[in-house]
């Protein structure tokens, strides 16, 4: 790429948020890239949200010849949020639709190139969009902080009650009250003792007067008669007792004034302090209760588990914890504001009249990058990819195309890597993508299709012995997947027991199923998940609808194998059914026909191409290339359809009792049948030998288990189909 443009590097704070979705399964990443931008992916109250919508419309509607095909309201994109890259043809297609083949802008709401959109921009200025985003972001932050305080208060209040909350202060108050009472009792006893001693002294003084009155006459005292001696002794004894009483009174007064009264005053002060502490604690409790009531009035009472086992309840699995409509609305608002901010930024920095300056030069260089022209200065490669992500936040790629697409990018050059259908990816396929990512999220299901690795096991074993790190088959591509390695290193998860009681550690299990209604959900839940899945759709059953007006059932068509697993009678039935639907509706039906076997897929495609109703001169006439495209998109093996979904799915089984080995292989694990059933959102039809397949492991749940499919012959099925069509 000639460096004729002044390419601008983004500020560091704008980098590190690149998002890449990758998988070994091309269908999975294509589904994400195709469905995320569709308007039906948004909630009904957000239908007005747009992000480069005219540009996304052009990318979605433009055909390879440059013409624009009409899109249904549901399929019209709401924004350029995601793009399918990977192989060079996808990158080239994005380049042409994003930058070239401008359309007539005189039509109302026309699809536009990115240049046309920038020139035609009439939205808010960057300053206005920035202010709106900051306001929305602050509201979300405040809402999160409020809920964090609510959660903390709930946790605190749930762990205690009022007596327990008041216990320390109440205990201190009780002890202080007891201390004050003890001090008061000691003071009272001492005062009573002082009063008794004073009364005793008064009695002694009164006795002294009486003794003085009984004093003997003088001559008895002179001659020291016995009466005089007795009187003198009484006086001396009284004086001694009075002296002792005085001493006792002085000691009591000293104890009262210097000991007991200060102790009582101190105890009373301590009691008043403890009472104030207790009153404050009571007020604190009342405040918390009031605050909790205020939170509840504004945010409602959250439904929280009382114990860990309650997390098994469907309600918690479906709704999660701490999710509410108000918070979700605020988060969606800030996301919409961020998209508007991106639009305003792009319109401000990339005007066409900037003469190769500013971000306009980056757009021109992005166009060259998508056409596989790398910059002369390899350091600019990361800048250009970061620039692309500023326009399109999410891109997808298969692992097979990842290295070529992101060549020139080093370790940690991408912000986020999302690995989809990780249970189908061998670890070695994801190494380059993980090396380039700063953070990764691994999503997959170990109970769906496992990695397909065709090298001999002996070779894998021998190569593994070359290193101590791989000698124990820990990374053997024929034994483990990206998903299983991610699960092993996830400390959050649960242990799942399969039907053989083998324990399997599942990291961060997502148990809510939101694709299939009954009976697909219950059948899959029974055969693969030990009934641990939770049904997450509003309705478990749906009204009969096109293209097949019939409930799910098993169309029993036994027959002999003609080639490998191909049973001609089953092929003929499917060709006749598809022909009837095509002739009735004038278009090829929107359904999938999937089989465990490649030979059955090839035989059915060949038979359809040879059918009279599929010939070019038949009426209604099939447009050129439409049948070829339909056969590729709608008929395939279970392995190639993982990651896809359709309202109606036929599973064409094949095989016969004489060649039952293939059927036994398909029934050796629940994975294959599980994937086949869960491709169908509304109806599933098994077409094959009921007695052969219905007796096999896992398939027996479909034939005679808890949720069996009705068994019907082909003629009865077609007759019922015609009758239901007439009613419809």
Residue 728 or 453, more confident: 453
Q: Does position 683 have pLDDT exceeding 90, yes or no?
A: yes
Enter the tokens of residue 709: 């499919």
| DSSP at 593 | E
First to last CA, the chain: 60
> What is the pLDDT confidence band of residue 360, given thresholds at 50, 70 and 90?
confident
Give the integer Cα–Cα distance in Å for 345 and 368: 22
Query: For the chain, how many residues are written?
Result: 728
From CA 467, how far away is CA 462, in angstroms rounded?
10
Please state the φ and ψ torsions of residue 573, each to the nearest 5 degrees. Answer: -60, -45
Could you tell me if 124 and 117 are in contact, meaning their C-beta atoms sit under 8 angstroms apart? no
In angstroms, what CA-CA distances link 691 with 183, 486, 555, 660?
A: 95, 40, 12, 12
d(CA 12, CA 434): 21
As a whole number of Å, the CA-based R_g of the chain is: 44
pLDDT band at 486 (very low <50, low <70, confident <90, very high): very high
Rounded to whole angstroms, the Cα distance separating 15 from 9 reads: 10
pLDDT (tens digit per residue) in 160-176: 999 999 999 999 999 99
* CA-to-CA separations, 410 to 358, 396, 404, 546, in angstroms, rounded: 25, 18, 13, 50
SS3 assignment, position 176: helix
Q: Which residues share a beta bridge with 440?
A: 417
**Which residues are registered as beta bridge partners of 636?**
594
Check if the beta carbon of residue 656 is closer than 8 Å to that of residue 513.
Answer: no
Provide the Cα torsion 105, 107, 109, 113; round to 10°. Answer: -30
pLDDT at site 388 = 93
In DSSP notation, 91-110 reads: HHHHHHHHHSS---TTSSS-
Q: How many CB atoms lie within 10 A of CB 653?
A: 27
- Output the pLDDT for position 533: 92
What are the angstrom distances between the C-alpha of 610 and each of 444, 576, 599, 616? 39, 12, 17, 11
Note if the bond before 590 is cis, omega within 30 degrees.
no
CB within 8 A of 233, min separation 6: which ones? Answer: none
**Rounded-to-integer distance, Cα 30 and Cα 87, Å:** 12
Task: At 396, give phi and psi (nearest 5°).
Answer: -125, 160
| pLDDT at residue number 2 | 41
Q: What does pLDDT average to over the chain?
A: 88
The yes-or-no verdict on residue 399 having pLDDT over 80 is yes
Return the residue matching tokens 């704070």.
13
pLDDT in tens, 23-76: 988 877 888 888 889 888 888 888 889 999 999 999 998 887 778 888 888 788
């Amino acid at each position: 790429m000639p460096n004729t443009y002044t390419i601008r590097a983004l500020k560091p704070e704008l980098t590190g948020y690149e998002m890449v979705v990758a998988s070994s399964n091309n269908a999975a990443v294509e589904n994400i890239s195709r469905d995320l931008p569709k308007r039906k992916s948004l909630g009904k109250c957000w239908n007005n949200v747009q992000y480069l919508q005219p540009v996304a419309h052009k990318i979605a509607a433009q055909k390879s010849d440059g013409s624009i095909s009409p899109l249904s309201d549901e399929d019209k994109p709401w924004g350029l949020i995601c793009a399918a890259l990977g192989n060079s043809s996808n990158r080239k297609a994005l380049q042409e639709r994003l930058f070239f083949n401008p359309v007539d802008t005189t039509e109302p709401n026309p699809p536009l190139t990115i240049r046309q959109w920038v020139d035609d921009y009439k939205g808010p200025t960057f300053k206005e969009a920035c202010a709106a985003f900051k306001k929305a972001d602050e509201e979300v932050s405040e809402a999160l902080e409020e809920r964090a305080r609510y959660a903390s208060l709930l946790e605190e209040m749930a762990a205690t009650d009022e007596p327990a909350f008041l216990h320390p202060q109440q205990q201190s108050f009780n002890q202080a009250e007891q201390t004050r009472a003890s001090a008061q009792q000691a003071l009272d006893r001492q005062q009573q003792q002082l009063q008794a001693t004073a009364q005793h002294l008064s009695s002694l003084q009164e006795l002294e007067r009486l003794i003085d009155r009984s004093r003997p006459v003088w001559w008895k005292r002179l001659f020291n008669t016995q009466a005089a001696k007795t009187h003198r002794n009484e006086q001396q004894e009284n004086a001694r007792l009075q002296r002792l009483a005085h001493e006792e009174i002085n000691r009591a007064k000293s104890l009262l004034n210097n000991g007991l009264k200060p102790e009582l005053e101190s105890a009373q002060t301590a009691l008043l302090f403890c009472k104030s502490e207790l009153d404050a604690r009571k007020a604190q409790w009342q405040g918390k209760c009031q605050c909790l009531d205020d939170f509840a009035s504004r945010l409602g009472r959250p439904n929280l588990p009382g114990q860990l086992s309650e997390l098994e309840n469907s309600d918690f699995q479906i709704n999660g914890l701490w999710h509410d409509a108000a918070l979700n609305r605020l988060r969606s608002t800030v996301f919409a504001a961020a998209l508007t901010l991106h639009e305003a930024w792009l319109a401000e920095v990339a005007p066409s009249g900037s003469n190769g300056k500013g971000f306009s030069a980056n757009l021109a260089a992005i166009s060259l990058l998508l056409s596989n022209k790398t910059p002369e200065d390899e350091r600019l490669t990361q800048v250009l990819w970061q620039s692309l992500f500023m326009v399109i936040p999410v891109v997808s790629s298969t692992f097979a195309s990842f290295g070529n697409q992101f060549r020139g990018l080093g370790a940690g050059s991408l912000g986020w890597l999302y690995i989809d259908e990780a249970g189908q990816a061998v670890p070695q396929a994801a190494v380059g993508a993980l090396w380039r990512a700063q953070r990764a999220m691994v999503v997959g299901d170990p109970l769906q299709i496992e990695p397909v690795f065709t090298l001999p096991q002996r070779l894998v074993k021998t190569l593994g012995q070359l290193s101590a790190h791989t000698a124990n088959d820990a990374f053997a591509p024929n034994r483990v997947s990206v998903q299983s390695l991610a699960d092993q290193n996830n400390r959050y998860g649960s242990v799942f027991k399969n039907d053989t009681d083998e324990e399997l550690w599942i990291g961060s299990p997502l148990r809510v199923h939101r694709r299939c209604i009954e009976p697909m959900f219950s059948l899959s839940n029974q055969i693969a998940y030990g009934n641990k899945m939770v049904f997450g759709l509003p309705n478990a059953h749906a009204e009969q609808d096109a293209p097949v007006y019939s409930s799910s059932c098993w169309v029993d068509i036994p027959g002999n194998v003609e080639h490998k697993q191909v049973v001609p009678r089953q092929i003929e039935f499917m060709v006749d059914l598809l022909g009837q639907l095509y002739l009735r509706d004038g278009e090829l039906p929107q359904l999938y026909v999937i089989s465990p076997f490649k030979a059955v897929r090839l035989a059915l495609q060949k038979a359809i191409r040879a059918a009279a109703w599929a010939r070019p001169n038949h009426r209604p006439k099939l447009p050129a290339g439409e049948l070829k495209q339909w056969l590729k998109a709608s008929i395939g093996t279970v392995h190639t359809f993982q990651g896809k979904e359709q309202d109606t799915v036929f599973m064409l089984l094949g095989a016969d009792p004489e060649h039952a080995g293939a059927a036994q292989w398909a029934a050796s694990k629940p994975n294959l049948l599980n994937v086949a059933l869960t491709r169908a959102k509304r109806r599933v039809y098994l077409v094959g030998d009921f007695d052969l397949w219905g007796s096999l492991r896992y398939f027996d749940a479909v034939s005679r288990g808890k949720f069996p499919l009705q068994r019907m012959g082909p003629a009865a099925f077609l007759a019922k189909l015609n009758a239901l069509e007439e009613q419809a």
